[in-house]
Amino acid sequence: MGKRIGMEVAVAVAEAVGLCNIDMAAVYPITPQSHIAEHLSDLVADGRIDAEFVTVESEHSAMSAVIGASGTGARSYTATSSQGLMYMHELLPIASAMRLPICMAIANRAVSGPLNILNDHTDIMPQRDSGWISIFVENGQEAIDMSIMSFKIAEHKDVMLPVNVNIDGFQLTHMVEPFEMPTQEEVNQFLPPFVPHATLHPSKPVTMGAFAMSDYFAEIMKAKDEALKNSKKVILDVWNEWGKLFGRKYQPVETYKIEDADVLMLTMGSMGETAQIAIDELRAKGVKAGLVKLRLWRPFPLAEIKAVLKNAKKLIVTDRAISFGGPGGPVFSEVKSALYAEAKRPLIYNYIYGLGGRDMAVKDFTGMFEKVLADTTNQEADTYEFWGVRE
Amino acid sequence: MALKTWKELPIGCVVSEPGSASEYHTGSWRSQRPVWNDTKCIKCGICYVYCPEGCIQQSEDGFFQANLDYCKGCGICAHECWPHAISMVEEG
């Protein structure tokens, strides 16, 4: 069992990655990810880990550098946020198509404009279709655990896909939290050496990222889609193994007091903890409220979502991003589409909230439940609303 | 060359055989082909120099022709040929 310590989450993520025997990291600092970049750089400069820290001039270069390094067989890591992630965008589908198991932390932050450095999910949502495994964490302990596990998932021979771990900026990255940090020996035992599916080496020349025309492109996209869907089995295996080793069990969809609930709420990321307190307050008042937390965003856990929502009458889906001019928030449209063919499905309400770091208190979550319960004629179902916006 | 199914693709579409690009016949893209008029050709080799595909060859008699397995029919040779010895002819 690792030591119980208190540390800033971003620094702890860098410490955790430092335990993973990485060969290289190329990280361009950007608020609120900067402390990951700085601390990883310290670990290399102080000789605490034997890795290359490539000081790149941009996030586009950072992702290019980790793609190249991963292609040579190096365990490669990067981290970014917001505009940096947007700047990496064109390279993300290339990393997944080349099946390079790069691991990346995203300190989620609002995308400009206007410029805003605070937390929401508007940076990761435009990357949804990049073909990466995408995981959301709720607290610092999860950020550490998922960062370490991401290497094992990504590098598994049946996966070979890049993984991003989404850590809410400031609300998680800059918190000082108590957690258990696994020891170097524990991580060494957990994480096998990286065995690449192919490497760039002069003695055995290969071409990676070659050209493909219309006669092959669809087959390549199909293969990538199947690979991402099939990765779920490995993700569950790795999470189960972690649970046995460290006692912290993770599931793609977690539930809290849903068994007899009349109304459920679905959250993704750090807001789950506040929403959980709201559930307790509502339960104390006799309201049968329950919570569903979505941890795995890609591959989307369709079967698990259907299973936990099958008895719900009303469901509140919360989103920290909006698809402008579309059906609502991205989580909402995903959940709604998952339930479309089900014989029994809940009425769904969508609240877009916590944008650009807007504080969300327990009363905001209880307020959502109260609003939905007051909608006895179901007028507001199947629509979306900006929660708390000034009219 | 039989096209592979999605299940037969190598992981990450890594190309492990050096020089395998020659198996891909870009000539299938062509809608027009270059035809040399050897009575106008002065054997200057401008067509050979400008061909972006590198598919123009010089015969033993000094005249030029395109390897139609790879010629995409771009017409650069005909455009650059200053004695106007090359014409682009529609493929049937």
Chain B residues with beta carbon closer than 8 angstroms to that of A209: 13
pLDDT in tens, A113-137: 999 999 999 999 999 999 999 999 9
**pLDDT (tens digit per residue) in A244-268:** 999 999 999 999 999 999 999 999 9
pLDDT at position A1 over 70: no
Instruction: Name the residue in chain A with its Cα closest to that of B17.
Output: A206
Interchain contact, B11 vs A160, CB within 8 Å: yes
Please give, rounded to a whole number of angstroms, the shortest distance from the CA of A153 to a CA of chain B. 16
Are A61 and A95 found together in one domain? Answer: yes
Nearest CB to B4; choose among A99, A205, A219:
A219
- Say which residue, A162 or B21, is predicted with more confidence: A162
Expressed as residue numbers, the domain containing A235 is: 3-246
Same domain, A210 and A290: no
What are the sequence ranges of the domains in chain B? 26-90
**A236 Cα to chain B: minimum distance (Å):** 22
CATH assignment at residue A170:
3.40.50.970
Q: Which two tokens stand for residue B28?
A: 């299938």
User: Given pLDDT bands bounded at 50, 70 and 90, which one contains residue A368?
Assistant: very high
Instruction: Assess whether A184 and A293 both reside in one domain.
Output: no
CATH, range B26-90: 3.30.70.20
What are the residues facing A319 on neighbouring strands? A352
Same domain for A202 and A77:
yes
CB B6 within 8 A of CB A222: yes
Domain-located, residue A199 = yes
Closest in B3, B4, B14 to A208, CB measured:
B14
User: Does residue A228 sit in the same domain as residue A319?
Assistant: no
Strands B86-90, B32-36: pairing is antiparallel
The verdict on A94 and A179 lying in the same domain is yes
Q: How many CB pairs under 8 A join A and B?
A: 48
Residues of A in contact with B9 (CB under 8 A): 216, 219-220, 223
Q: Which of A217, A246, A275 is the last residue of a domain?
A: A246
- Please give the Cα distance from B44 to B57 (Å, whole number): 13
Chain A residue with CA closest to B2: the answer is A215
Q: Each residue of A64-80: pLDDT tens digit?
A: 999 999 999 999 999 99
Residue B1 forms contact with A (CB below 8 Å): no
Residue in A with minimal Cα distance to B7: A223
Query: Which residue out of B3, B4, B5, B6 would a mutagenesis test of the A interface target, given it has the greatest number of A Cβ atoms within 10 Å?
Result: B6
Report if residue A391 sits inside a domain.
Answer: no
Task: Please count the other Cβ atoms lying within 10 Å of the Cβ belonging to residue B7.
Answer: 9
Q: Are residues A143 and A232 in the same domain?
A: yes
Q: pLDDT tens for residues A324-362?
A: 999 999 999 999 999 999 999 999 999 999 999 999 999
B12 touches chain A (CB under 8 A): yes
A259 belongs to a structural domain: yes
- The verdict on a CB contact (< 8 Å) between A208 and B3 is no
Cβ-defined contact of B13 to A220 (cutoff 8 Å): yes
3 state SS for chain A: CCEEEEEEHHHHHHHHHHCCCCCEEECCCCCCCHHHHHHHHHHHHCCCCCCEEECCCCHHHHHHHHHHHHHCCCCEEEEECHHHHHHHHHHHHHHHHCCCCCEEEEEECCCCCCCCCCCCCCCCHHHHHHCCEEEECCCHHHHHHHHHHHHHHHHCCCCCCCEEEEEECCCCCCCEEEEEECCHHHHHHHCCCCCCCCCCECCECCECCCCCCCCCHHHHHHHHHHHHHHHHHHHHHHHHHHHHHHCCCCCCEEEECCCCCCEEEEECCCHHHHHHHHHHHHHHCCCCEEEEEECEEECCCHHHHHHHHCCCCEEEEEECCCCCCCCCCHHHHHHHHHHCCCCCCCEEEEEECCHHHCCCCHHHHHHHHHHHHHCCCCCCCCCEEECCCCC
Q: List, for residues A78-110, the tens digit of each pLDDT value.
A: 999 999 999 999 999 999 999 999 999 999 999
Residues 16-55 of B with CB under 8 A from A: 16, 18
Number of domains in chain A: 2
Kindly state whether residues A14 and A33 are assigned to the same domain.
yes
Residue A2: pLDDT above 80?
Answer: no
Instruction: Specify the pTM.
Output: 0.94
Per-residue pLDDT tens digits of chain B, which is 92 residues long: 689 999 999 999 999 988 888 888 999 999 999 999 999 999 999 999 999 999 999 999 999 999 999 999 999 999 999 999 999 999 98
Q: Which of A246, A278, A310 is the last residue of a domain?
A: A246
Structural domain contains residue A110:
yes
- Give the pLDDT confidence score for residue A237 in this predicted structure: 98
Residue A239 lies in a domain: yes
Cβ contact, residue pair B15, A206, below 8 Å = yes
Give the pLDDT confidence of A21-69 residue by residue, as tens digits.
999 999 999 999 999 999 999 999 999 999 999 999 999 999 999 999 9
What pLDDT shows up at residue B92? Answer: 80
Q: Are residues A154 and A95 in the same domain?
A: yes
Q: Which of B22, B29, B37 lies closest to B47 in space, CA to CA?
A: B37
Q: What is the CATH number of the domain that holds A304?
A: 3.40.50.920
Question: Which of A219, A246, A273 corresponds to the end of one domain?
Answer: A246
A211 within some domain: yes
The pLDDT of residue B1 is 65
Residue A212 with chain B: CB contacts under 8 Å: 13
